[in-house]
Structure 1
């Protein structure tokens, strides 16, 4: 699949973009390059390959632990310090003016 100048003009119009001729030519080239990559990926024979939910699934039977950092607070609570410059605070919450009636 490849696009032409009219396709790019229509897409730009739908997106409410005003493209100069050089920008339109560059966009046409980039989008067609992208479609070329998609066609290369489609050309790969994947018959008999089961989709993976996660790359770790490729390690069938192997016990793999993900290296995640512990979920602990690494800094002390500095809410009072952070709210010092706020114009209005109440019970630890920033107060803002009402903007919607």
Structure 2
């Protein structure tokens, strides 16, 4: 890909969409960087597609029902509790 693939007007347009003010020296630098990025995408386009069926398997275990903890046991290790509930720090 040639360096002029991305022109300064396009860079200014993208910068405007992103609400970024660019100096003239930055526009030239970004044009070069955008060209490099586009060249990398062109390289990715050259990667051949793979045609195969995906061997997918469900790796999740089924839900199992268990008795829940008693309130006192659940709050045993809580740093603070109040009226049978976990108590966290105040958020301001």
- Length-normalised TM-score, structure 2: 0.54
Q: C-alpha root-mean-square deviation of aligned residues, in Å?
A: 3.0
Equivalent in the alignment of 2:24: 21
Query: Does residue 45 in structure 1 map to residue 48 in structure 2?
Result: yes
Q: 1:92 to 1:18 in 2, by over 3 A?
A: same
Unaligned runs of 5+ in 2: 56-76
Matches within 5 A, 1:1-101: 2-46=5-49, 49-50=50-51, 80=79, 91-97=86-92
Rg larger in 1 or in 2? Answer: 2
Unaligned runs of 5+ in 1: 58-77, 84-89
Q: 1:18 to 1:52 in 2, by over 3 A?
A: farther
State how many pairs are aligned: 65
Higher relative contact order (CA 8 A, sep 6+): 2
Q: Tell me how far 1:33 sits from its aligned partner.
A: 0.3
